[in-house]
Amino acid sequence: MAIDLEHCKDLDAADPLAEFRDRFEAGEEGAIYLDANSLGPLPADAPARLEATVREAWGRGRSRSWANPRWIGAPARIGAKLARLIGAEDDEVIVGDGTSVNLFKLLMAALALQPEGRRVILSERDNFPSDLHIAQGIVALRGHRYELKMVEQGDDILAAINQEVSVVTLTHASFRTGACHDLKAITHRAHQAGALVVWDISHSAGATEVDLNGAGVDFAVGCGYKYLGGGPGAPAFAFVRRDLQATASNPLTGWMSHADTMSFETDYRPADGMRRFLCGSPEVLALTVLEAALDVWEGIDPSLAFEKNRALTGLFIDLVEQELSSFGFTIITPKETDRRGGQVTIAHERGAELSEALIKAGVLCSFRPPNAMRFGFQPFCLRFTDLWEAVGRLRGVVEKA
């Protein structure tokens, strides 16, 4: 049966998260925001919380505020708030630095735990470029003791994991296609072959179920500014499985990772637990915004949001098929619900031009070469009727093109 506006209205009426829309800034009048995979929307109370931190804690408190555990304890406290969204324990996640920096730390930590003879860092050519650049940098830094092997698109990653592999590092949900790897199966295969895994869950954290401990993951990193909504350049996060924390070492041995930072000891001693994976001072202002974003999740069952995202991405796919089948679009995101994250990608040979026209028509999406139009869905802000409207505008744009 064809989907119509009434059906979308019924879905909105039954949405248990409908009231959460007000917990975010509305954005521009009439605009539909489908770019949460680039930058999550602004939580409504973040500006006031940021202003309080700036005016009260910094403006009045000045350096005394460093004595307030809210500042120095922010990376671990906020990490614990994030943990339940990604299947981790409270003491397995810390926030701070960027994703690329955390990937460097954890890749180095994983390699250092492995026997010298294992020379391969295994990834895939279509991984996010920064992740590959970090791995390439490590290969050079370590005097080419390691080799970065990249599985080609369409090749079987499981088959490429052998006894030569030291660490497998992949992004769970692809930034380009929105397709998710089987995190559990790949982690299991890596462990069978004696390899460790470092997952980048930037495009799945806050968008879809990730069960790091359920899958036995060793290390993971991810962005704070995408679905998690921590704002432009938000601190990233790092996860280290609890039983690895005592033996894994952080190559960026800054003072915040010292066992006793305030002793100002000359010699380095690593802190216990996840604090060992910090480096320098916490980004207090940015962390204030990230915390506001994570507090939106407080008291709700995260699976409600993930379920809604599956329904949104599913409806979008169905609407594209129904409304746009004769206009040369190819849906490259898997249709199976458990194989996609929070994003749907549709390819079109004139994708760059169409994305630009669609943004002008008030539907914010993003484009990645050569032909990928990306639509990222944020479950708290979007209505099902927004998708009806967005696909209608896309039809209007392509009809005119």
Ligand X SMILES: Cc1ncc(COP(=O)(O)O)c(C=O)c1O
Residues annotated as catalytic (active site), given as ranges = 128, 200, 225-226, 374
Query: Hey, what long-range contacts does 137-142 have (CB within 8 A, 24 or more apart)?
Result: 137/104, 138/104, 138/107, 138/108, 138/111, 142/111
CB of 276 to ligand X, least distance (A): 20
Which of residues 3 and 171 has its CB atom nearest to ligand X in the complex? 171
Q: Does 98 bind ligand X (CB under 6 A)?
A: yes
Return the amino acid letter for 59: G
Q: Is the Cβ–Cβ distance between 343 and 178 less than 8 Å?
A: yes
**Rule CB under 6 A: which of 115-154 touch ligand X?**
128, 130-131
Please count the residues of this chain forming the interface with ligand X, following the rule CB under 6 A.
Answer: 13
Which of residues 341 and 397 has its CB atom nearest to ligand X in the complex? 341
Q: Does 35 bind ligand X (CB under 6 A)?
A: no
Ranges of beta strands (E only) in 179-260 are: 196-200, 219-222, 237-240
Q: With CA atoms as reference, report the closest residue to 290 among 72, 68, 111, 42.
A: 42
CA separation for the pair 219, 333 (Å, rounded): 26
Which of residues 201 and 387 has its CB atom nearest to ligand X in the complex? 201
Window of 7-15, 72-80, 95-103, 346-354 that interacts with ligand X by CB under 6 A: 95-103
**What is the sign, positive or negative, of the torsion defined by CA atoms of 295, 296, 301, 302?**
negative
CB of 234 to ligand X, least distance (A): 8
Cα–Cα separations (whole angstroms), residue 345 to 181, 314, 329? 16, 12, 10
CB of 66 to ligand X, least distance (A): 25
Q: Does 99 bind ligand X (CB under 6 A)?
A: yes
Judged by CB under 6 A, the residue of 86, 157, 223, 358 near ligand X is: 223
Which of residues 123 and 257 has its CB atom nearest to ligand X in the complex? 123
Q: Is the Cβ–Cβ distance between 391 and 320 less than 8 Å?
A: yes
**Rule CB under 6 A: which of 196-215 touch ligand X?**
200, 202-203
Window of 93-101, 155-163, 241-249, 282-290 that interacts with ligand X by CB under 6 A: 93-101
Q: Is the Cβ–Cβ distance between 100 and 132 less than 8 Å?
A: no
Which of residues 228 and 319 has its CB atom nearest to ligand X in the complex? 228
Q: With CA atoms as reference, report the closest residue to 227 among 341, 332, 132.
A: 341
Residues 45-84, one symbol each (x = binds ligand X by CB under 6 A, - = not), give ----------------------------------------
Which of residues 99 and 371 has its CB atom nearest to ligand X in the complex? 99
Q: Is the Cβ–Cβ distance between 217 and 183 less than 8 Å?
A: yes
CB of 388 to ligand X, least distance (A): 28
CB of 221 to ligand X, least distance (A): 8
Q: Does 345 bind ligand X (CB under 6 A)?
A: no
Q: Is the Cβ–Cβ distance between 218 and 114 less than 8 Å?
A: no
Judged by CB under 6 A, the residue of 100, 257, 333, 355 near ligand X is: 100
Cα–Cα separations (whole angstroms), residue 21 to 12, 18, 24, 236, 307? 12, 6, 6, 24, 16
Judged by CB under 6 A, the residue of 20, 24, 146, 175 near ligand X is: 175
Angle at 289 between CA 288 and CA 294, to 5 degrees: 100
Q: With CA atoms as reference, report the closest residue to 374 among 97, 179, 129.
A: 179
Residues that bind ligand X (CB under 6 A): 98-100, 128, 130-131, 171, 175, 200, 202-203, 223, 236
